[in-house]
Amino acid sequence: MKVLYLGTDGSKSGASLSMIGVAKEARKYGIEVSIIIPSHGELEEELIKEKIRYSVVPTFNWIEEKNKKPLITHVKRWIKKIWNLWGEHRIYSIMKKENPDIVHLNTICSGSGAISAIRQKRKLVWHIREFVEEDHGYRFWDKKKTYKLLSRAELIIAISKSVYDKFSRDLPNADIKVIYNGVDVDKFLNSNHQIFSNLPRIDILMGGSIAESKGQHELIEAAKLLKSDKEHEYKIHFAGKARPEYLEKLKCMVIQYELAHMVEFEGFKDNMNQIWAKADIAVVCSRAEAFGRVTVEAMLSGALVIGANTAGTSELIDNMKTGLLYKQGDSRDLASAIKYAAQNNKMMKKIAYEGQKQAEEKYTSVRNAKEIVQAYQEILRIYG
């Protein structure tokens, strides 16, 4: 079997790393894999390290931010559409040469390659790893066209039940299957992590991209309330790439609330497994996480995860059993959850352990790839 994967960015984003994880595991089943990415960048380092064949075909995603200047947005959109026509032509040629049995698009953010796959009558699998509107605040250039192409896929893979619920309503005739995302257990599992071992100091980490939809401001608002807690010394760390305007807003909040002694912005870290190992509590404030790769990473590390009670986060965390949930958008409730965890740290150690066990059993790259390969086999009618 030959599978051609089509990525939608050249960075080490969660979606791109998940794609590489699937490709790595798929090779263990004897599948020949190759990847097309839309830009040069840091992702190439991973592809070269893993010895995965790849091509770079510059294309643009077919989503855009809302509330931009209409005329400028319209002009840019048409320039990108014209550019994508050239990209589609190059992808068509590569696809013809590669002759894959299956073409697998990695996210819904781009459709480049879908038309080529349909024209060449390839089996098309489409991964949906995001909500788009709800989580990132983006919109499609042409939602009707997007959904029309999606409906032509042999199979759509939703990375959580929340994603399935949304798109099964919008695409009632499509074949959509829930396959939870997977994380490299060998990289993130830390069975020796002893949380709450440096009391009264408690280290809180929020990892992943720093953007308004991820809700870092809620944790800073909660820190303002926790500042008055005389029993514990809270240290809050943010690790991830940041949108400049939002980062500036957060830094202004830190100054305004006099939290410089509590809050630290550490920037992007390539060794998140080592960063998680220093955290007692991991916080996830996303307003609508499609899955939550960082949630699983934190669970595997052994940290106690406190997450928002929305979308994918609420699927990964069983409240008071594998982590804690708080009411999304309510910083006072988040502060209460953090304080409760600090005051009941012995109980929290047990809950964190249960979370780690669940993540190790259910959200692994091995299990994820196995289910995807089985889906490929069903599509190609390969059994046994």
Shared domain for 258 and 371, answered yes or no, is no
Shared domain for 143 and 194, answered yes or no, is no
Domain containing residue 224: CATH number: 3.40.50.2000
The answer to whether residue 291 is domain-embedded is yes
Tokens of 222: 């909660």
List CB contacts of 150: < 8 A, sequence separation 6 or more: 108, 126, 156, 167, 171, 174
Shared domain for 193 and 333, answered yes or no, is yes
Give the pLDDT confidence score for residue 69 in this predicted structure.
72
The answer to whether residue 384 is domain-embedded is no
Give the pLDDT confidence score for residue 384 in this predicted structure.
42
Shared domain for 177 and 326, answered yes or no, is no
**3-class DSSP state for residue 353?**
helix
What pLDDT digit, counting tens, does each position of 160-177 carry? Answer: 999 999 999 989 999 999
Mean pLDDT on 170-190: 92
List CB contacts of 99: < 8 A, sequence separation 6 or more: 2
Query: DSSP string covering 58-104, please?
Result: ----SEEETTS-HHHHHHHHHHHHHHHHHHHHHHHHHHHHH--SEEE
Shared domain for 238 and 344, answered yes or no, is yes
Mean pLDDT on 124-147: 90
Alpha-carbon 331 to chain mean position: 23
The answer to whether residue 246 is domain-embedded is yes
The answer to whether residue 153 is domain-embedded is yes
Shared domain for 175 and 197, answered yes or no, is no
Give the pLDDT confidence score for residue 379 in this predicted structure.
95
Give the pLDDT confidence score for residue 171 in this predicted structure.
92
Shared domain for 167 and 232, answered yes or no, is no
Q: What's the pTM?
A: 0.89
Shared domain for 374 and 310, answered yes or no, is no
The answer to whether residue 149 is domain-embedded is yes
Shared domain for 37 and 98, answered yes or no, is yes
Give the pLDDT confidence score for residue 337 in this predicted structure.
98
Shared domain for 207 and 240, answered yes or no, is yes
As a whole number of angstroms, the distance between CA 222 and CA 216 comes to 10
Give the domain extent around 113.
Answer: 2-182+364-379
What pLDDT digit, counting tens, does each position of 255-272 carry? Answer: 999 999 999 999 988 888
As a whole number of angstroms, the distance between CA 137 and CA 123 comes to 31
The answer to whether residue 373 is domain-embedded is yes
Give the pLDDT confidence score for residue 235 in this predicted structure.
97
The answer to whether residue 190 is domain-embedded is yes
What pLDDT digit, counting tens, does each position of 318-360 carry? Answer: 999 999 999 999 999 999 999 999 999 999 999 999 999 999 9
DSSP alpha helix (H) spans, 257-364 = 272-276, 293-301, 311-316, 331-343, 345-362
Q: Terminal CA-to-CA distance of the chain, rounded, Å?
A: 14
Mean pLDDT of the chain: 94
Q: Are 207 and 275 in contact (CB under 8 A)?
A: yes
| pLDDT class of 240 with cuts at 50, 70, 90 | very high
Shared domain for 372 and 355, answered yes or no, is no
Shared domain for 198 and 301, answered yes or no, is yes
The answer to whether residue 283 is domain-embedded is yes
As a whole number of angstroms, the distance between CA 99 and CA 103 comes to 10
How many separate domains does the chain show? 2
